[in-house]
Amino acid sequence: MQEVDIPLTSVRRATVDGRRPSSISLDTVSTVSGSEPSIDGDTTELERTLGLWSGMAIVIGTIIGSGIFSTPSLILTAVGSVGMSMIVWVLGAAVSVCGCIAYMELGTMLPRSGGEKEYLDTAFPWPQALMPFVFCLSSLAICSPSALAADSAVTGTYFLYAITGKSADHAEWAQRLLGVAVAVFCAFMHGFFVRTAIRLQSALTIVKVLVLLLIVLVGLGIGIKRGTNSFDGAFTGTSAHPSAYVSALFKVFFAYSGYTALNYSIDELKNPVRNLPRAALGGLLVTAILYVLSNAAYFMVLDPQTVESSSTAVAGVFFTEAFGALWGQRIVPVLIALATLGNVMCGMFSASRVVFEAAREGYLPFGHILGEISRFQSPLSALCLSCALTVVFIVTPPAGEAYAFLIDIGGYPLWLFYGLAVVGLLIMRRTHQDLQRPFKAWHIANAVTIACALFMCVVPFVKPESDSGKIPYWAAPVAALAFMVLSCAFWYAQIIVRGSLERSHHKRKTLLI
């Protein structure tokens, strides 16, 4: 990874063959330098409220969520052994670091909010805006709300654990009702109390880190004191079927997802060329270390059978075993619920920014509403849409397998666009050599990300060893692909027929400049 000093004004030279300059216009220079233009005398840009530490808090807060507190049991069940489960977590960390490095180059090369929307738009200019359009619709309608729904549901599970003392077999309606309440609360805070919400999610990030540190220290202490047999014959029962590892990796990558959070809201980050790489990579590395040590701690305290039977409340069962019923079933689960609540807050923050940018680009109907900044200095309408879609994902999946299905359906398009964004990065190195690159990703990091994306997009169609669930193994990828195909039809109606790009906020703003 090569670091290069870059004057911000050099972005002025970045133009793309006369195309609409959504991601590389003078608007980018204005926002990066801190001068925020306005239209008709009104403030039309979100404030730069995020520094290095608050940016890192968003990354850590977005990554650390329900995954580490709920998926270890599902991953162990999939791969069949403790040793392979640990390897999958380490592999997930390595692949995520490679992806993060690639996104550091993308984010500092095109320093504008929107993430993959901006990168795909620049790398794949034909057909006009098709790739970023499909990404935006998939992200705002599938990826973000499904992940937020999964996290909201787990938050509800841990609150119920604290109330009832049971790790599973809760009333489905109660879990979903609490999940809906969590999603609405997070949208409300980010909509009406922006600075308070950022402070709150930063504070909840501290809670998350403290809970993980407690897991690590307790597991290590108990493991040393009484010894553990969980790592004896660590690889006994390891699955040899490819689909088992796809299922496990989807859940591991779900737990690690979030290192791209600042790429979606870079317009709100102070000194983004400097702070984006530090906050993103620093936050990911801190989280990866805590994840691997936390999984080791689980197996130092619990035997593999107990981990598997704990369902999505493995951390609660862990603390019950370590501290007894009062602390383990009543007090610590509240802390875990608050930790996952912080994840929903960070996720809602990022998801609403994708809706906001897509609306201002002209990708969505009612763009003048969804791309509007409220008097509370928040994209309130975009937050309402993100919240509404999250609620739909909370209440509609069938009971029993809903959590795993939400992870799988949201992960499929996510990996498809991860791969395409990094392919686009390689394309732009040839087609847009004039773009300044403050960071240049290693070739091995790009290759690993693309190879992993290809693996994650192909192998879900391989039939698993057993498919006894209510939801067929192919349902999640087929549903995701079907939605993306339908998005192409919507693209034709919105972009080609209606010509919405020419009437968008960004187009009007470019003409004014």
Q: What span, in angstroms and rounded, lies between the C-alpha atoms of 120 and 143?
A: 17
- Tell me the residue ranges of DSSP E strands in 371-437: none
Closest CA to 243 of 455, 414, 482: 455
Assigned domain for 195 exists: yes
What pLDDT does 513 receive? 57
Residue 394, domain CATH:
1.20.1740.10
Q: What span, in angstroms and rounded, lies between the C-alpha atoms of 89 and 84?
A: 9
Closest CA to 504 of 20, 135, 11, 12: 20
Q: What span, in angstroms and rounded, lies between the C-alpha atoms of 134 and 486?
A: 9
Q: Is 39 left (phi over 0), alpha (psi -120 to 50) or beta?
A: beta
What pLDDT does 228 receive? 65
Report pLDDT digits (tens) over 385-438: 999 999 998 988 766 566 677 778 888 898 999 999 999 999 999 999 999 999
Q: What span, in angstroms and rounded, lies between the C-alpha atoms of 387 and 324?
A: 37
Q: What span, in angstroms and rounded, lies between the C-alpha atoms of 453 and 179?
A: 30
Residues lower than pLDDT 70 in the chain: 1-46, 166-170, 228-230, 312, 398-403, 466-469, 506-513
What pLDDT does 466 receive? 67
Task: Please report, for the chain, how many H helices and E strands are present, in that order.
Answer: 23, 4
Assigned domain for 343 exists: yes
H-helix segments, 165-193: 172-192
Q: What is the pTM of this model?
A: 0.78
Q: Which residue has tokens 């300059």?
A: 21
DSSP conformation letters of 444-500: HHHHHHHHHHHHHHHGGGSPPS---SSS-TTHHHHHHHHHHHHHHHHHIIIIIIS-G
Assigned domain for 173 exists: yes
Assigned domain for 274 exists: yes
Q: What span, in angstroms and rounded, lies between the C-alpha atoms of 324 and 303?
A: 17
Q: How many Cβ atoms are within 10 Å of 126's Cβ, its own excluded?
A: 8
Assigned domain for 353 exists: yes
Cβ 255 vs Cβ 90: under 8 Å: no
Report residue 136 as tokens: 């935006």
Assigned domain for 32 exists: no
Task: Give CA 296 to chain center in angstroms.
Answer: 24
What pLDDT does 10 receive? 33
What pLDDT does 401 receive? 65
Closest CA to 458 of 244, 243, 252, 253: 243
Q: What span, in angstroms and rounded, lies between the C-alpha atoms of 258 and 96?
A: 10
Domain boundaries, position 442:
2-7+48-512
Buried b (16+ CB within 10 A) or exposed e, 171-203: eeeebbebbbebbbbbbbbbbeebeebbebbbe
Cβ 183 vs Cβ 390: under 8 Å: yes
Report residue 173 as tokens: 């309606």
Assigned domain for 384 exists: yes
Identify the helix (H) or strand (E) that includes residue 64.
Answer: none
Do β-strands 2-3 and 38-39 pair in parallel, antiparallel, or remain unpaired? unpaired
**Number of domains observed in the structure of the chain:** 1
Task: Give CA 505 to chain center in angstroms.
Answer: 26
52-63 vs 272-301: helix crossing angle, rounded to 10: 40
Cβ 250 vs Cβ 79: under 8 Å: no
Assigned domain for 294 exists: yes
What pLDDT does 217 receive? 94
